[in-house]
Amino acid sequence: MKMKTVLVIINCIFLAIGNCGGPLMMRLYFSNGGQRIWFSSFLQTVGCPLIIFPLLFSFIRRLRCLDEQEKTPFFLMKPPLFIAAILVGLLMGFDNYLYSYGLAYIPVSTASLIISAQLGFTALFAFFMVKQKFTPFTINAVVLLTVGAVVLALNSDSDKLANETHKEYVVGFLMTIGAALLYAFILPLVELTYKKSCQRITYTLALEFQMVLCFFATCFCLVGMLAAGDFKVIAGEARDFKLGESLYYVVVVFTAVIWQAFFVGAIGLIFCASSLVSGIMISALLPVTVILAVICFQEKFQAGKGVALALSLWGSVSYFYGQMKSEEKTKAQETQLSQLPVTDSET
């Protein structure tokens, strides 16, 4: 098995764990007394120091491959890529806040269905930013995913959480759409950064980019926590947590670790494949997240939500089928060109 295939599988596993587990852990936090939106945003990227371990392994491996007189730096990232990672990280921090705000006021299953529209947004941004081809299947997917979000909006009154006002639900709904839109922009932006980089992008460099990105996203949320006074109330919030104070900190730690798995998987897939493949995987995991949310938190699953799920799945399958057909056509054209006879003028 090729190393690239192994990396794709590993990153798909990370993405699946984070994509399904991250929202559930955040809902567990909010449903049991957690109220700090900036703090929950902070948790999404604060696990970035975990990336040091694979980077350390990569550094030791590079040392073994070099002669005794040669030197290799621990970090391979050069200043232009480092600055790009900072800028993307600040955008990611804001996206984390939008998503946390949305999830505080809408069910996980609803948030996941809204996030499915991210694939359509990613396709649109990828078309303009990295010249990704637009096919009829892509247009079909964008329309279906958009209609699915509209269906959810029309059924908002029957989907509110307990003791929640209509205004809170609408704001949470719009915040989640904003999060999907912004993250759909971030995915091709990272791919564009890789392409424009003066460095050859390796998996180690992609991990470094991810660590810097998450570090500055965490700093962005840290400033928000300081402004909102979160540090003053976290201890009290832990004591009042419905599951107990000790489990409060367990939830916090696991939330950070699981979300970090998501970001490593997403960025890793951009390196191994493309931003659209990363977006497709996120959408493909949608039914799993919805089912887990209904089982774990007894969330309502009305007819409108079922229609939205069906439209989202239809859109994702349509997009995936279109990508397969496009790749088959490209390979067939390349095969035909390779089989053409070489003329004397070409020799």
Instruction: Note the pLDDT tens digit of each residue in 119-131.
Output: 777 777 877 787 6
Provide the pLDDT confidence category of residue 325 given band limits of 50, 70 and 90.
confident
Q: Is residue 1 part of a domain?
A: no
Please give the pLDDT value at position 321: 76
The DSSP element (H or E) to which 49 belongs, if any, is none
Q: Which two tokens stand for residue 265?
A: 């998987």
Kindly report the average pLDDT of the chain as a whole number.
82
Count how many domains the chain has.
1
Q: Is residue 258 part of a domain?
A: yes
Q: What is the largest CA-CA distance in the chain?
A: 83
Q: What CA–CA distance (Å, rounded) separates 308 from 130?
A: 29
**Torsion, Cα of 96, 102, 105, 108 (10° steps):** -90
Q: What CA–CA distance (Å, rounded) separates 308 from 149?
A: 7
Residue 283 has pLDDT above 80, yes or no: no
Please give the pLDDT value at position 343: 53
Provide the pLDDT confidence category of residue 139 given band limits of 50, 70 and 90.
confident
Q: Is residue 68 part of a domain?
A: no
Which pLDDT tens digit goes with each residue over 7-38? Answer: 888 888 898 899 889 999 999 999 999 999 99
Residue 281 has pLDDT above 50, yes or no: yes
- Is the CB of residue 153 less than 8 Å from the CB of residue 311? no
Please give the pLDDT value at position 93: 96
| DSSP symbols for 232-277 | HHHHHHHHT-TT-HHHHHHHHHHHHHHHHHHHHHHHHHHHHT-HHH
Q: Is residue 344 part of a domain?
A: no
Domain that holds residue 126: 10-63+74-329
Chain Cα centroid distance, residue 205: 19
Q: Is residue 3 part of a domain?
A: no
Q: What CA–CA distance (Å, rounded) separates 151 from 314?
A: 14
Please give the pLDDT value at position 198: 80
- What's the whole-number mean pLDDT along residues 224-246? 94
Q: Is residue 235 part of a domain?
A: yes
Provide the pLDDT confidence category of residue 155 given band limits of 50, 70 and 90.
low
- What's the whole-number mean pLDDT along residues 220-233? 95
Q: Is residue 69 part of a domain?
A: no
| pTM of the complete model beyond 0.85 | no
Q: Is residue 20 part of a domain?
A: yes
Q: 65 versus 100: which is more confidently predicted?
A: 100
Lowest-pLDDT range, 128-132, 233-237, 245-249? 128-132
